[in-house]
Each structure stands twice: as C-alpha cells, then as structure tokens.
Structure 1
Amino acid sequence: MPDPDKSTVDDTVTGAARALRAVILAGEHYRQVVAAHLGLDVSQTQALSYLYSKGDLGQVELGALLGYNTSSITALVDRLERAGIACRVRHPTDRRRSIVRLTERGHLVMRDLDRTFRRAFDHLEPQSLAELTTAMSSIAADLRLGADALADLPPARL
C-alpha cells in the first residue's frame, strides 16, 4: 500500500518544482523585455547581470559564466563598451589579462532595473525574507551544479 506521507511530499515537491519553473520562465521573459528595452541582446543583459551581482570580472571568467569562447566574449565586451555600459581595465597584477567592469552608466541602468526585483518581495513579510534568501541561494547553487553535470553529458538526441 502506498505511503500517504510520501505521496504528500511528492505532491509538494512537484508543486515547488512547478513554481520554480514559473520563476525561471518569468525571469527569461523579463530578460527578453529588458534586452529589447535597452537595445541589447539577451547575452549582453546576462553579462550585465553577472557584472552587477558579482562585481568586476576577468574577461575569461565572464566568458566562462556565459559559456562563450575567447573570440565570442571579446565581441560581446566590445559591444558593451560601444553601448557605454561596461569597459575593460587592466588587471592589477597580470598585464595579459583585462577586467570587465560596469561603467557609471551601466550601474545606473542596473540599479534602475533592480527596482523591479525588489518590488517582487513587496508582498512578503520582512521576517520571512532571510529564510527565503537562504532557500533561493541553495536552489540556485543546486541548479548550477545540475547544469554543470548536464553540460558534461553527451548531447541528447530527441
């Protein structure tokens, strides 16, 4: 006979997974709208998000986060520089490397967009935000690990 407690847990996990998928889809839609609003492509907005959330990044490191090879990340950073929202600076200790950083304009754009993210929490009780932050950080780390594991597998043939 099936365990009713296990069934309830399975239903709860299924519901949570559906809610997570809804958040991801909403985020993808948001990124597409932001890209169109800023006149950028989705990859450029992803680069901006990494730079805003992580701070200055080496060009190679930014390329790895985006899954770009050397020539592709060079072209992407060139476009961000032309748009005036990011720039390259010399690495402080390695002359062969460059660091990508948001310009003042890039920070202003990202702070303006950050308001939308902050409003997403307006309906929640402030005392629940710490627990939610911990849970979301854990989920994000698990998703990154899952994506890394999937990237190591041979391509699926559909």
Structure 2
Amino acid sequence: MADGVRELMVAEESYRRAVAAAMGIAPVEATALEFLLHNGARTPSLIAARTGLSRTSTTALVDRLAAAGWVARRPHPLDRRSVLVDLTDDGFDVVCSTYLLFARDIGAALDEADPRLREDPQWRRAVGSLVEEIAASLRHRAGDVLGVEAALSRHLVGTETALPDAGSGDTGPPSPGRAR
C-alpha cells in the first residue's frame, strides 16, 4: 500500500508540473490557484501555509497571479488589516478547466480499475475515504517537524537535519554519507 501511495504522490507531482507548464506558471502557483478554486477567497497567510512559502514569497506569487489576471485582492470583510485573494472569472475558468481535466483522468483510471469500483458506490466511497484518511495522516505528519526529526534521528546522526533546498532539484533520499 505504501509503495502504491508513494507512486501516486510522485505521479501527482509530475502531473502538477506538466499542467503548470502548460499554463505557463510554476507548480507552486498552480497549487495556490487550486487551493482558491476548492476553498474560495483566502488570506495570503493561508495561501502561504498551503504552499509552504514565506509571506514575502507569497506576496510575490499573488502579485504574479494578479498581473496575469487570474486573482484579485479585495478587502477582508472582517479584518481591516487584511485582504482576501480570490480567483477572477478568467482565473476560475482556467483553474476549473485544469480540475476538470484531472477529474477526467481519474475517471479514466477508474474505468481501468477493478469493476467493483465502477459498479458499487460503497466500494468507491470506501476507497475515497481511505484516500482522504491517508491525506489527513500525511498532512498531520507534515505539520509535526519535530516528530519527523525524532523518528528519523537515528538515521540522521552526524548529518544536518535540514532538508535539501526545494529549489535545488534534489528530491531523492540522501545517499549514505552524502553531505547535505
């Protein structure tokens, strides 16, 4: 199961990069747009939390998406010090198109899967529930940096615990003895 989920995650990342490239944006920008599609207008700090960017980088990301005409800032109705970032009509159209493509691709996979998944809504709900629980478990662990470091500490002895820079292109596990 873990190998299958890992392969799904790798495929999803490749898929996100390909869609973002077709849109002419970075994958992190696609992540922000998708977040807004599924969650509505949000503050820059929530976009930062979802994308893993700093506040400064998130401001630059929102600036780029606004310049492209895909998002707009508007005053926050409950907090005068904050703004909400929302999809424009053009932004909604383009991001909705990418999501519909994604949904069609998932449907194509379902067509090739075990016939019980196509024919039995209870099976689909059970698999959907499992995927949601896996996502929740991974999100929980991702938010537990100290727990991850503790769990890996015996393997990280003598190495820096910081992960490789996200922009370095180094996405694989470290080789034994490889300097970080």
Q: Tell me if TM exceeds 0.5.
A: yes
Which residue matches 1:132? 127
Amino acid at match of 1:136: V
Candidates 90, 95, 112, aligned match of 1:110: 95
Describe the superposition over 1:25-71 as per-residue Cα deviations: whole angstroms up to 9, x where unpaired. Answer: 11111111111100001110111111112221111111122122221
Q: Distance in 1 between matches of 2:27 and 2:100?
A: 19
**Residue of structure 2 equivalent to 1:3:** none
- The residue type equivalent to 2:135 in the other structure is A
The TM-score normalised by the length of structure 1 is 0.82
Determine the C-alpha separation between the residues in 2 that align with 1:73 and 1:111. Answer: 22
Any idea what the Cα deviations from partners look like across 1:61-120, whole Å, max 9, x if unmatched?
111221222211110000000111111111001111011111111111122112232221
Partner of 1:66: 51
Aligned to 1:26: 11
- Corresponding residue number in structure 2 for 1:100: 85
Q: 2:81 aligned with 1:88, yes or no?
A: no
Aligned length: 143
The equivalent residue for 2:145 is 150
Aligned to 2:40: 55
C-alpha distance in 2 between matches for 1:73 and 1:113: 22
Change beyond 3 A, Cα 1:115–1:151: farther
One-letter identity of the residue aligned with 1:125: R
**Greater helix proportion:** 1
The structural deviation recorded for 1:151 is 6.4
The structure, 1 or 2, with the larger RCO (C-alpha pairs under 8 Å, 6+ apart) is 1
Q: Which moved more, 1:145-154 or 1:104-113?
A: 145-154
2:11 corresponds to which letter in structure 1? A
Whether 1:43 aligns to 2:50 is no
The one-letter amino acid of 1:61's match is: L
Unaligned runs of 5+ in 2: 112-116, 150-160, 164-178
Aligned-pair identity (%):
32
Cα distance in 2, alignment partners of residues 133 and 102 from structure 1 = 27
* Pairwise CA distance, 1:18: 0.8
